[in-house]
Chain A
Amino acid sequence: MSLRIAVPGGVLLDGACALLTRAGVAQVRPESFASQLLVEDGRNHLIKVRPTDVPVYVELGAADVGIAGKDVLWESSRVVYEVLDLGFGGCRLVLAAPEGSGLAGGEWPASLRVATRYPRAARRFFDRIKVTAELIKLHGSVELAPLTGLADAVLDITATGNTLRANHLVEVAEAERSTARLVVNQASLKTRATAVEALAAALRRAVQGEAVASR
């Protein structure tokens, strides 16, 4: 039985294509989606969608399964099964403050204004560490917020730390870690169980093989 697989564009696209190919699920490269967003690979249909739309396609059953960053799932209210940690696309959600600020020196102010693209993960983090923070939801270029006085600090994703350094921001604390995940529609998990399980098993083998190889 064929599956409809939602593949995220953006930073996860290369890793997703590499993993699907290595696992023998589909012979697909990022360029495969250059001229068309829907690719048919013999058995499966691959759909390239915006990273934040993957849970939408999967919840509503337009795709049976999808590859989504955990950072997308934090902020999504969509009901999907999170079946497998795919290992790639690793990044961290960190609280960062301007160099030389009190917070960067480890002094937590009584009240804190934080700019973030991840308000739900941020709320969870500040609840956990019991800090009162006023959250400002932004859609991009979060690192500008402290420079312009919009916020005292940012809570944002970092993979290498380069963007933080370039904007003179210092990591203060780590809130969450994210990697790519395999998500499955709740009905497809039941009605296409054999195909979904075969896909999950193939991806698991490929992920574990990679982990062994990189040791």
Chain B
Amino acid sequence: MEDAALAGAGAPPGRAGGFTDWLPGAAELRRSTAETFLECFLAWGYGLVATPLLEPLETIARGVGEAGQQGLFRFMDADGALVALVGERTVSVARVVATQLREADRPLRLAYAGPVLRNQALLGGRRRETQQAGCELIGSAGLGADAECVALAAAALRGVGLTAVQIDVGHADFLPGLLESAGLATPDRTAVLDALRRRNLVAVEAALEGTAAGAAERDLLLRFPGLRGGHDLLDAAAAGLRAERPRRVLSELSRFWDLLMAHGLDGIVHLDLGAVRDWDYYTGPIFELFSGDLGFPLGGGGRYDGLLGHFGPPEPATGFVLQVDRCVDALRRGATVAAPAAGRRLRVAHAPGREADAIRVAATLRSGSGGDAVVVCDLEACPAPPPGAAAYVSADGTQLRCEEGRWIAAAAGPPPGMAPDTLRR
């Protein structure tokens, strides 16, 4: 006993590094942000799915390969099976789509929200557990599905008050196609893509040095990251490109642009031909969402037609994820957000021995307010009505209500709308 007491008196109890305690206020904003995202997704016809916090390692490896397991919390469960805490939820949703929802009508619109975990090195400013909310649109190969995802992501961010958002749209096949048509040998191509993946443009330049890249392709690659702009960027990029593969991407992006404009995303969307994403995973249009001064993307997504084939019959699919915690960071940092309206807060106090009456009064107030007011019942008795309280039960059982600073006896009998027996003792 004494030892335990001594141990408890030492340093405060630790919290695992890279994890956050969300305190009242911030935690509420986090919950309401995720909830608003989900409401927006459901309003666009997406059905909510909830998947487990952990998946068999084998499922993750089958979905996104060995590299996809890197940086996850992995362990063995009581039955000896290797499992991992999910680092993202698209693979889980894909597993569900390929199994329980295999016969469901297509296109299939699914939404999710939940925590994901990354066992990454402890670096200040990065979280190991984050909240993600996202959508997957399965079974449609058309650009309309991709455009819907971009528009829905933008609408969800607008819904929580993040209006100064910029969306960068690219295509996963543009850079690989450009490199192939540039006549680069496979090792050179791998070196350039690898350097792009590492965001090392100095290495891109070095890798292109002395290769057989054609002039037009080389110019484009060296202009990275300046390959950004509006629709006119596509014509400028197409000039001088003869190979079919990159030209096909550019004409696809041109049609995509028209659909995005139809969604009213004028002025928010930019084309970004140099978008650096995971080329092994994405197969078509890709996008990322940014907000003013936040150093990280708020979310992103794209077409991943290859994933479902790892679990069942191949199916086209597109989707996106929003990083709830980063959105909360942006909301707490920016002045753009309107503070949530503070609801009425009603305190119910009571004289000694009248706790049970106070509990009934609080219950009546809660059901009468329709959820608009916060009702807090005192846990300690007060000999007299305390200032700031909304109701008080005196020693003789009289209910007092505070109206404009004055205490008056509440009307006899139950409040309007209450069945008489609810207040009977």
Interface, chain A (partner B; CB < 8 A): 56, 58-62, 77-85, 181, 185-191, 193, 197
Determine whether the beta carbon of A197 is less than 8 Å from that of B226.
yes
Count chain A CB atoms within 10 A of each CB in B125, B166, B201, B203 and give the residue with the most.
B201
Contact with A along B120-156 (1 / 0, CB 8 A): 0101110000000000000000000000000000000
Q: How far is the CA of A84 from the CA of B204 in the complex (A)?
A: 10
Cα separation A60 to B293 with both chains bound (whole Å): 10
- Judging by beta carbons under 8 Å apart, are B226 and A190 in contact? no
Interface centre among B166, B202, B290, B291 (most CB of A within 10 A): B202
Q: Determine, out of B25-33, B243-251, B294-302, B316-324, the stretch whose residues face the partner at the interface.
A: B294-302
Partner of A77, one of B123, B200, B290: B123
Q: Does B199 contact A (CB under 8 A)?
A: yes
Can you list 18 A-B pairs with a CB-CB distance of less than 8 A? A56-B123, A56-B124, A56-B125, A59-B125, A60-B124, A61-B294, A78-B123, A81-B201, A82-B201, A82-B202, A83-B225, A84-B202, A187-B290, A187-B294, A190-B168, A190-B270, A191-B290, A191-B292
A82 to B225, CA, bound (A): 11
CA distance A84 to B202 in the complex (A): 6
Residue on A with the closest CB to B201? A83
Q: Is the CB of B225 within 8 A of A189?
A: yes
Alpha-carbon distance between A77 and B121 when the two chains are bound, in angstroms: 8
Q: Which residues of A contact B202 (CB under 8 A)?
A: 82-85, 181
Q: Which residue of B lies closest to A82 (CB)?
A: B200
Residues of A within 8 A of B203 (CB): 82
Name the contact of A60 in the complex, choosing from B125, B166, B200, B226 (C-beta under 8 A).
B125
User: Does chain A have a CB within 8 A of B217?
Assistant: no
Bound-state Cα–Cα, A196 to B201, Å? 14
Question: Which 10 residue pairs are nearest across A and B when measured between Cβ atoms?
Answer: A61-B295, A81-B199, A60-B125, A82-B200, A85-B202, A187-B290, A185-B295, A191-B290, A83-B201, A187-B295
User: How close is B303's CB to chain A, nearest CB, in angstroms?
Assistant: 20
- Complex contacts, B294 vs chain A, CB 8 Å: 61, 187
| Chain A residue contacts of B297, Cβ below 8 A | 186-187
List chain A residues, Cβ under 8 A from B292: 191
Total count of chain B residues near the partner, CB < 8 A? 25
Flag whether B288 is at the interface (Cβ < 8 A).
yes
Q: Which residues of B contact A82 (CB under 8 A)?
A: 199-203
Residues of B within 8 A of A83 (CB): 201-202, 225
Task: Assess A187 versus B296: contact at CB under 8 Å? Given A59-B125, A77-B121.
Answer: yes
Closest residue of chain A to B229, judged by CB? A193
Measuring CB to CB, which residues of chain B are less than 8 angstroms from any residue of chain A? 121, 123-125, 166, 168, 199-203, 225-226, 228, 270, 272, 288, 290-297
The minimal Cβ–Cβ distance linking A80 to chain B, given in whole angstroms, is 7
A-side contacts of B125, CB under 8 Å: 56, 59-60
Q: Which residues from chain A contact B166 at a C-beta distance below 8 Å?
A: 190-191
Set of chain B residues within 8 Å of A61, measured between Cβ atoms: 293-296
Interface centre among B125, B225, B228 (most CB of A within 10 A): B225
User: Chain A residues with Cβ under 8 A from B288's Cβ?
Assistant: 190
* CA distance in complex: A56, B124 (Å): 8
A60-B272 contact, Cβ under 8 Å, with A77-B123, A190-B168, A190-B290: no
Are A186 and B225 interface neighbours, CB within 8 A?
no
Chain B hits for A186, CB < 8 A: 199, 295-297
Q: How far is the CB of B63 from chain A (nearest CB, A)?
A: 23
In angstroms, Cα B295 to Cα A190, docked, is 10
Chain A residues whose CB sits within 8 angstroms of the CB of B226 once the complex forms: 193, 197
Q: In the complex, what's the smallest C-beta–C-beta distance from B19 to chain A, in angstroms? A: 18
CB distance from A167 to the nearest CB of B (A): 32
Nearest A-chain residue to B199, judged by Cβ: A81
Cross-chain contact B123 with A84 (CB below 8 angstroms): no
- In the complex the two chains form, what is the Cα distance from A189 to B201 in whole Å? 12
Asked whether, in the complex, the Cβ of B228 is within 8 Å of the Cβ of A190, the reply is: yes
Q: B272 — which chain A residues lie within 8 A by C-beta?
A: 190
Smallest beta-carbon distance A46→chain B, Å: 18
Max chain B Cβ within 10 angstroms of own Cβ: one of A56, A77, A82:
A82
Chain B residues with CB under 8 A of A187: 290, 294-297
Residues of B within 8 A of A81 (CB): 199-201, 225
